[in-house]
Amino acid sequence: GAVVSQHPSWVICKSGTSVKIECRSLDFQATTMFWYRQFPKQSLMLMATSNEGSKATYEQGVEKDKFLINHASLTLSTLTVTSAHPEDSSFYICSASLGPAWEEQYFGPGTRLTVT
């Protein structure tokens, strides 16, 4: 099946710094990528939808200036957490859509962010 990778898998950063997370579709071109956040023992919450070459669409309550998303190519989307704070510590997971059928959405392994 299609493979989605994320880098890094785990990152620790200091409060006030920024951290970038990459999401790559390794063997297919993804027209749409999604970013989710999962707090411990909570469900995955959709943060934003990213389409190649256009601005991301953010869900209500997600600060677009804090969570910068860039989808520069059909195989790469990046999420930058700016001025990170401890409450941003979470598990960030991306998914990539192969096409219009919903089952063609593949999840990455996730990135665990810890802000100290």
Residues found near another protein in the complex (CB under 8 A): 4, 6, 31-32, 34, 36, 41-46, 49, 59, 91, 93, 95, 97-105, 107-110, 112
Q: Which is nearer to another protein, 46 or 76 (CB)?
A: 46
Q: Which is nearer to another protein, 18 or 88 (CB)?
A: 88
Minimum distance between the CB of residue 70 and another protein, rounded to whole angstroms?
Answer: 18
Tokens of 41: 């023992």
Contact 108, 7 (CB under 8 A): no
Distance spanning both ends of the chain, measured CA to CA: 37
Minimum distance between the CB of residue 41 and another protein, rounded to whole angstroms?
Answer: 6
The rounded distance, in Å, linking the Cα atoms of 75 and 55 is 16
Q: Measuring CA to CA, how many Å separate 59 from each of 2, 27, 71?
A: 26, 28, 17
Minimum distance between the CB of residue 107 and another protein, rounded to whole angstroms?
Answer: 4
